[in-house]
Every structure is written in structure tokens, then in C-alpha cells.
Amino acid sequence: HRIPAAVELSYSFSNSHPNTHASMSWQSWVDNMLAYPGVNIAAIYGVDGSVWAKSPSCNPNPAEVTALIAGLGKSSAGEFTGFNFQGLRFMTIRLIDGEIDGRSGQSSLSAMKSSQCMVIGGYIDPADGSAPETAGSQKVNFAVAKVKEALANAGY
């Protein structure tokens, strides 16, 4: 499948991130999510499961991506109680309107679907358990929501 060309979008994450108005590649959106405190993996996938851009540390297998996209179509966490991502089993803690948040120990993951893509951001706890204070599902969710909102507003 053909990956759409990058689009010029306007975004602002918070007061700690300056407003930026620039033409960005898909990879730039992923890199921007990674700059947000508490996010150490990020990706954008087409709703068909194709990779538009991803961080080097984001390496789920295709079946995990397909299952997550399908889970985003469910209406409640009761219908989609958990999912696998990068070999970790995440418990669904929130699922509503094409947005899902999951937890696996200290790791957290948020995925949000727009009409053409799925935006994923997360914090995967290192094997040594040295999670920084900045890690947390609310921070991950906020970063993913900002990117998904900007892409959805641009028709993606």
C-alpha cells in the first residue's frame, strides 16, 4: 500500500514545547512524540497495518499491530480486555471512541485511530526496572492524542 506524502500541519504540545509550523515527514511526527517526557516508543501505522513511520525501539510483530487495530474498533474494554505488543501482555485500562490505553507492569501504551491511521506511543519499562518519574500512562496518552488530533484534523 502507498504511504501518503507528509502533510503540512500546525501543532503545539504544551508550554514546554514551542509552537512549530512546518512541513513534517511522518518520521518527524514519531520523533516529536519521542521528545515528550515519558515516551520511549512511537509509531504511525496505516489502518491496513502498513508502517508509515516508527521509532527504532518500536518493533511489534504484524499480528500484534493487526490485533490492536481491530481492538480499536471495539466499543468497550469489556470487549477487548487485553492485547500483546512487543511480546508484552497489556491489560486494557480504557477503550473508548477509537482510543485505547493499556498497562503491563510499569509499561504503558496508548493507541488512537483516525480515519486513515493509528498513532501509537508508549513507555516500555527497561528490563532493569529503572522507570523514570516521567513515565506514565497519562503523559503517553497526551502525546499520542496531540499527534492523532493534528493528523485527523488534516484528513488523516
Residues 26-58: tens digit of each pLDDT: 999 999 999 988 899 999 999 999 999 999 999
Nearest CA-CA partner of 118 in 67, 61, 47: 47
pLDDT tens digit sequence for 107-150: 999 999 999 999 999 998 876 555 555 555 678 899 999 999 99
**Grid cell locating 107:** 509499561
Q: Over 90: is that where the pLDDT of 64 sits?
A: yes
Nearest CA-CA partner of 112 in 57, 151, 83, 58: 151
Q: Which residue has the higher pLDDT, 134 or 68?
A: 68
pTM beyond 0.75: the answer is yes
- Residue identified by cell 504511525 is 44
Nearest CA-CA partner of 84 in 94, 98, 71: 71
Q: How do strand 99-104 and strand 82-85 relate by DSSP bridges?
A: unpaired
Band the pLDDT of 24: cuts 50, 70, 90: low
Let me know if 49 is exposed, middle or buried by CB neighbors in 10 A (0-12, 13-18, 19+): middle
For CA atoms 135, 141, 61, 151, give the dihedral sign. negative
Amino acid at 32: N
Q: Going from the N-terminus, what domains does the chain have, and what CATH number goes with each?
A: 26-154 (3.30.450.30)
